[in-house]
C-alpha cells in the first residue's frame, strides 16, 4: 500500500508505522473494535473517557491527555493479522469480483 496508495496514510511519508509489527497489514486501519463518542462515554473521576476498545485487548491501554481519556491502540495488532481478517470477513472473493465486472 505504501507504494501504490502513498497518500492513504500520513505515516507513509515519514517512513513510520502506527504499530510495531514486522508484517503490518493496513487492511483494517480503522479497527472495528474501537469505540468513540464525541460527547464522552463516561466520567472517570474528573476526566472524560472518549474512546475505548470493545474487546478490551490486552495490548491496548487507556491514555490520559489532560482531562481526556482515549484508547491507545499503538501496541495492539489484533485486526492487522491475516487470521483475524479471515475469521471475521468470510468473503467469497470470486462472487465479489463477478459483481465488480458487471
The CA radius of gyration of the chain, in Å to the nearest whole number, is 17
The residue with greater pLDDT, 59 or 20, is: 59
Q: Give the tens place of pLDDT for each residue, 22-66.
A: 777 776 677 888 999 999 999 999 999 999 999 999 999 999 999
* pLDDT value of residue 22: 79
Closest CA to 60 of 41, 35, 84, 82: 35
Q: Is it the case that residue 9 has pLDDT exceeding 70?
A: yes
* pLDDT value of residue 15: 84
- What does the DSSP assignment read for 8-58? S-HHHHTT--SS--TT--GGGSS-TTEEE-TT-SEEETTEEE-EEETT--T
* pLDDT value of residue 37: 94
* pLDDT value of residue 68: 96
Q: What is the distance between the alpha carbons of residues 9 and 33, in angstroms, rounded to a whole number?
A: 20
Q: Give the tens place of pLDDT for each residue, 63-102.
A: 999 999 999 988 888 887 777 777 776 566 566 555 555 4
Q: What is the distance between the alpha carbons of residues 96 and 89, in angstroms, rounded to a whole number?
A: 13
- Grid cell at residue 11: 505515516
- Grid cell at residue 60: 491496548
Amino acid at each position: 500500500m505504501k507504494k501504490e496508495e502513498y497518500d492513504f496514510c500520513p505515516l507513509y511519508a515519514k517512513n513510520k508505522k502506527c504499530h510495531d509489527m514486522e508484517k503490518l497489514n493496513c487492511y483494517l486501519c480503522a479497527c472495528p473494535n474501537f469505540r468513540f463518542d464525541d460527547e464522552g462515554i463516561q466520567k472517570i473521576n474528573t476526566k472524560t473517557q472518549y474512546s475505548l476498545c470493545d474487546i478490551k485487548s490486552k495490548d491496548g491501554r487507556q491514555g490520559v491527555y489532560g482531562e481526556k481519556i482515549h484508547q491507545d491502540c499503538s501496541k495492539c495488532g489484533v485486526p492487522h493479522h491475516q487470521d483475524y481478517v479471515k475469521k471475521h470477513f468470510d468473503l467469497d472473493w470470486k462472487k465479489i469480483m463477478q459483481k465488480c465486472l458487471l
